[in-house]
Each structure stands twice: as structure tokens, then as C-alpha cells.
Structure 1
Amino acid sequence: MSQTIRNVQPVIANLGKEGSVELVPSRYAVRVGDVDVVLISDGVLPLPTSTMSTNVSETDRNDWFDGRFLQRDMFDWALNIALVRSGERLILIDSGVGDGFEYFSRAGQSVMRLESAGIDLAAITDIVVTHMHMDHVGGLNVDGVKARLRPDVRIHVSAAEVEFWKNPDFSKTVMPETVPPALRKAAAKFVELYSENIVQFEQTVEVAAGVSARVTGGHTPGHCVVDVASHGEKLTFVGDAIFEVNFDNPDWQNGFEHDPEAALNVRIALFNEAAETRALLAAAHVAFPSIGHIAKAGKGFRFVPVQWDY
């Protein structure tokens, strides 16, 4: 299955124009059949390395991070969102972390980067929220964002996710102590702000031609992934189902997973699916632009990034 990488207008219309303050690429486009997909970096989240491997020894964790030339204690966790254009519909997948979190001051760039790409927030017809963690709904909670979105924007969230955040269970998570209260607050604010726009779905929903969301559970009970399929080509945005450490170590658990065992089963299923179909995969927390193929490699998997088209 071949995928055509190309520049998408007007998404990169302002790239390189005078006044740009960005020194590194923050968006990358790929065409899937007739559907345009743009990955956008919201920035990075500095987090303890232990949150990436809560069920393994410090030695094994250090070996992996040493092998990646990364620090052993803290590392920069990529945070990506996506924008999809299918026909007349413009779909935002997740919204980044937003503002209000001093310890995440290097993220929250999504709105600015959408604007610098020439995207009017009012042009967005649909939003898919893979799950209601603050780094996925926080961008929508920023003051003034709702007023700039169209009043009838449809925000697709699984019913199981909405229900879970009414009384979230953190008993199986291993997070920094400041995180659960922030997650609760962000989820509650999101529901309060957008209750009239939220469109709940059970298992799957077609958002636009060739664009659908399906519930996987695992990371959170209502976590979903977004499939883009057109003319025999496919890309799946897997949200938080797969992290960078998991290509080499699929069984390593993440401290932000509300059901680590279920999350492992979801992860393996998505890996096998991508390897068998040769579809593209993109993720919220794989190094930008996070787009690539999955190949089986012994007991694990190998990530094959796309070749950038300059």
C-alpha cells in the first residue's frame, strides 16, 4: 500500500513568511487517498521516565533511555494533535494541553500553530476527542477558544469516556501526585463548556467520508482511535494507545493507563493490525511527526518513520 506525502494548502500557506518565530517544523502533511491529514506538534511535556515503564526494573528502564541518548530521570514527551480534511468537513483530533499548567509550559502550542498555518478555528466542523485527559482536551478549555469555534461544532466523545469522568478511578495509575486533580479539573471544565456540542457514540462513529472513530478502551475506558481510509489507503491516529517505548517493549506499562492490562491488549492488537495491513500509524506521544509503518521484529515491533518530503 503506497501513501503519497505532499504539502497541503492552506495548511502550510504561511510557512517561511516574514514574522515566523518557529525555528523547527511543527506540522507535517500526508494524503490518504482523497483525505488530507496534518500532524501538528503541541510541544513537549517534561515527565519522569518512570511513568513510561511502571512494571519494569530501574536497570531495564535505564538501559532503554541510555540507548536513546536520553536522560534517566526526566525526558521530553512529545504531544501531537491532528487535523483532517475530508470533503467539506475539517476535523480536529484532540486539542493539546492548553494553558494553566506551569510544569507544562513548553506545550499548549496547538491554537497558535493552527493559526500560523492559516486555519480559522471557525472553519473546524468537527472535533474528535480520543479521551478526556488534560493534554487532549486542555486546548479547548483555553479562554476565548470556544467563542472562536462555530456554535454548531460537533465534538465526538465516546459515551464510556463521558461516563468515566463523572467519577474517575485512578487506583491502577502511577502518576505524579499533582496530575490526578488536574485531570479531574480539566475533564469537568471541558464537559461544562461544551455539553451542548458533545456528541456521544457507543462503539464507532463516522465523522466524515473516510474518517471514523472507534472505541478501544484500555488507556481510559472510553479511549478511541481515529481511522482515515480512502481509495485503499489507511492511517490510524492511535491517541495514547501506543507510546515510544512500546515499539521495543510492548508490555511496558504507562503510569497514565487507567487499566494497564487492557491497555496492553489494545496496544498489541493495534500493532498487529498495522503490521498486517501496512497502514500508516500516528500517535499523540511518539516523536513528531509520529507518522510511520509498523513491522514485526522478534517479540516486539519496529517503527519505520515516513521519509520526509521536503
Structure 2
Amino acid sequence: MSLNITSHPERAPSELVPSRYAVQVGDIDVLVISDGVLPLPTKMLGHNADPDVRAAWLNDMFLPPDAFDWSLNVVLVKSGGQTILIDAGLGLDPNLNLPRAGQLIMRLEAAGIDLGAVTDVVLTHMHMDHVGGLLVDGVKERLRPDLRIHVAAAEVTFWEAPDFTYVDMPPGFPDALRATAKRFADAYRSQLYLFDQEHEVAPGVIVRRTGGHTPGHSIVRMASGGDRLTFAGDAVFTVGFEHPDWHNGFEHDPKEAARVRVRLLTELAATGEQLVATHLPFPSVGRVAVDGDAFRWVPAFWDY
């Protein structure tokens, strides 16, 4: 099986924009794949922020004031003979009317990637836009029967009785998140490989629990030959560099999520390693710089 990883982004023949982008981390192959976009209210970027300050930030970023499209990125990794899918996208949820997300399976096929070749799945957390792709009709039957799904034990426990006290989501989302997490746990419980704090999935590929966004939220660190890349899941959002203290509407423990974000961004700025995150603009490959008492996102120049 080949990941068909090349040194430049490609596009499916029927699409107008690239939907996958390859990065080399030493001997580790990394492919960032777009699962599409989620149109969400701008308030969710910082529901604890002063509305005027939030509006000014959106205006400075040339973003619409009420709602805009959040990118939804998934990562495929090949290391030590293992093929690892990090998160699985939204899948299909007709009740939420999100037709431009849930593209992962189609885009894996367009990249020539066989679902049956995936040996491991790592979940940063169990929100529906990270597990839903595994619930699409016919997908489970195409996966290996010995597929290992790595997820923090705290995440599985949380979704047995989830707490939505501190979130600020559009109507319908809490019910959809709760239902999707239950469906996923019921469908894949026998294939879950639980860890407490940190676990090496493959050579140079380590998943580490951060908490905050959800109790079991995790990031994935990749290191090989002096190169490093972190997939931050939902620990970092676009606004989080300039305003790391703003609370995202999907954060179940927003104060802890802000502390996690600052610690992670401080570390990434110090190491200079590459960052990819779920909801940064595709392909979301870049680095972090310190900017006064906040941070600055430095997108990578695309390698054509």
C-alpha cells in the first residue's frame, strides 16, 4: 500500500481546490486531508469576549461578522509499517445540515488510500466531527478486523454521562454530540485501546492527553530525524493565537482549555516545530511565534 504522498498538494479531478497536502517529518509520512468545512456562528470563537472586540478581530481578518466556514482537517500518518488515521471527520448527519463536511472517505479514495490498509486510528476526542467518518454506512466493513482505535480512557468515561454546563453551542449540537459518541462507543468498543496520559502508537508517533477541550482531549506528537510536528486537534483555533484566553463554544472546560492552549503554544514557539490543527485553515501547516503577551501564526509556504 502506498499513501501516494508527493511533495506537492493534489486535487481530486472533480474538485476545484486541493484537498490533501503532504509533509515529511524525518522518516514519517504525513498527509493532511480536508474533510470539508463547517459553517458556524462567529460567537463560538470566543463567547466570553467583548462582542465589540470580537467583531473588530473578525473585521481585521476580513471574516464575515455572523458566521464563517471552519476548516475540518484530518491527518494520515505512515510510520514503522503502520498506517495511522488521526481523527475521522464528520461523516454524515442529515439533521445538522452540514453538506460541505464529511468528505474524508471520498478524499481518501481519491488519494488511492485503501481503508483496509489503516492499522490504527487515533482520536483526539469523541466530538462528532472527529469520529463521524467511522460511522458512515459501509465503512466499518471495509476496515481491518484487528484495527486499533487509540483514545484516552478519560474521554470514553466522559461520554458515558457528558457535561454540557460550560459550552455555548448552536441548538441541536449537544444532542447530536451525545448521540454520535454513544453510537461510536457501541460500534467500536471492542477495538478501543485506552491510555491514561501518553502512549506511543508507532515509532515516533506519540499521543498525549491534554484535557481542557474535553476531559480526554489529546494531541499527537510526531518526531523523526530531528524533525517534529504536532497535531493539536481542537486545542488551538484560528483566534487562539492572538486571544488564547477566548473560550471556544465547544470547550467543555473552557478555563482549562485556555491554560492548555497557552502551554502548548508556548512550547511550540520554543521548539519551532510544525503545527497542524483540526480547525485551522487547510492545510493548517505552520509554526508559532511569540508576539508580545500573545502568539502569532506563521503559515508554512506551500511546497509545490
Distance 1:125 1:269 in 2: 31
User: In the alignment, which residue of structure 1 is the partner of 2:165?
Assistant: 171
Unpaired runs of 5+ in structure 2? none
Deviation at 1:10, TM superposition (A): 1.4
Tell me, yes or no, if the aligned pair for 1:11 and 1:119 is still in contact at 8 Å: no
Determine if the alignment matches structure 1 residue 41 to structure 2 residue 38. no
- Which residue of structure 2 aligns with residue 207 of structure 1? 201
CA distance in 1: counterparts of 2:10 and 2:22, whole angstroms: 16
TM-superposed deviation, 1:127: 0.2
Which runs of no fewer than 5 residues in structure 1 stay unpaired?
1-7
- Give 1:197 deviation, angstroms: 0.7
Pairs within 5 Å for 1:1-310: 9-11=3-5, 20-101=13-94, 102-310=96-304
CA distance in 1, matches of 2:82, 2:185: 23
Q: Residue 11 of structure 1: CA displacement?
A: 3.8
Give the TM-score, by structure 1 length: 0.95
Offset of residue 16 of structure 1: 6.8
- The alpha-carbon deviation at position 104 of structure 1 amounts to 1.2
Separation (CA, whole Å) in 2 of partners of 1:9 and 1:210: 18
Whole-angstrom CA distance in 1 between matches of 2:50 and 2:78: 44
Shift of 1:12: 5.7
Secondary structure, counterpart of 2:97 in structure 1 = helix
2:176 aligned partner, one-letter code: A
Segment drifting more, 58-67 vs 162-171: 58-67
Q: Could you say what secondary structure the match of 1:304 adopts?
A: strand
How far apart are the structure 1 equivalents of 2:208 and 2:163? Answer: 22
Partner residue in 2 for 1:4: none
TM-score normalized by the length of structure 2:
0.96
Percent identity reads: 55
> Secondary structure, in 3 states, of the residue corresponding to 1:251?
coil
Q: CA deviation at 1:262?
A: 0.3
Q: Distance in 2 between matches of 1:243 and 1:105?
A: 22
Preserved contact between residue 36 and residue 85 of structure 1 (Cα < 8 Å)? yes
Instruction: Summarize deviations over 1:259-299 as a string: whole Å, max 9, x none.
Output: 01100110001001100111111100000001111000011
Q: Which amino acid aligns with 2:166?
A: K
Secondary structure, aligned partner of 2:262? helix
Distance 1:178 1:9, change over 3 A: closer
Q: Contact 1:46–1:103 (CA<8 Å) still a contact in 2?
A: no
Q: Contact between 2:87 and 2:124, CA under 8 Å: does it hold in 1?
A: yes
| Number of residue pairs the alignment of both structures matches | 301
Q: Show CA shifts across 1:124-180 (max 9, x none).
A: 000000000000000011111000000000000100000000000000111112100
**Structure 2 CA distance for aligned equivalents of residues 32 and 59 of structure 1:** 41
1:20 CA drift (Å): 1.4
1-structure distance, mates of 2:276, 2:268: 11
Q: 1:96 is aligned with what amino acid? A: G
Q: 1:57, CA displacement in angstroms?
A: 1.4
